Structure 1
């Protein structure tokens, strides 16, 4: 298992569009991908409802956890994608 922290920079946080993008990207990997937010809460990065339910706002730090055969690649790709706004202008 590998993990990495990243700060969400999207002005409106992980609302529907970036949450959908995150899920779509996470589903490309075979690894289990979750993230911790707030006070020890966990969300499944492959579930749009789980990501939306996390209510992650701009400036919040999340910690991604990837476990599986492509965990290193998944972590690196997703941290970079979140860091650059998940396709949205920052």
Structure 2
């Protein structure tokens, strides 16, 4: 298992479009991909789970990847978030 804390930079947080981009990135990997936030844990491969987390700009989440390609998944997701998830 690997994990890393990242801050969401999107001005409107993880609304539908960036949540979809995050999920599409997570689905590329075989590893289980979740993130912890103030209030719980969300499945990064589920748009509804990501939206339900209500992550806003400036919120910090902890990406958690567990599986065969966990480091690759963590690097890919961190890069996507750092790049603004399409915004």
CA displacement at 1:87 relative to structure 2? 1.2
Q: Is 1:34–1:42's contact at 8 Å kept on the other side of the alignment?
A: yes
Q: TM-score, with normalisation over the residues of structure 2?
A: 0.98
For residues 20 and 80 of structure 1, what CA distance do their matches in structure 2 show? 15
For residues 79 and 28 of structure 2, what CA distance do their matches in structure 1 show? 15
Aligned to 1:56: 55
Q: Is 1:5–1:79's contact at 8 Å kept on the other side of the alignment?
A: no
For residues 68 and 78 of structure 2, what CA distance do their matches in structure 1 show? 17
For residues 10 and 27 of structure 2, what CA distance do their matches in structure 1 show? 21
Matches within 5 A, 1:11-90: 11-39=11-39, 41-88=40-87
Q: TM-score, with normalisation over the residues of structure 1?
A: 0.94
| Aligned-partner SS, 1:14 | coil
Contiguous gaps of at least 5 residues in structure 1: none
Contiguous gaps of at least 5 residues in structure 2: none
- Structure 1 vs Structure 2 CA RMSD: 0.6
Dislocated runs of 4+, deviation >2 Å: none
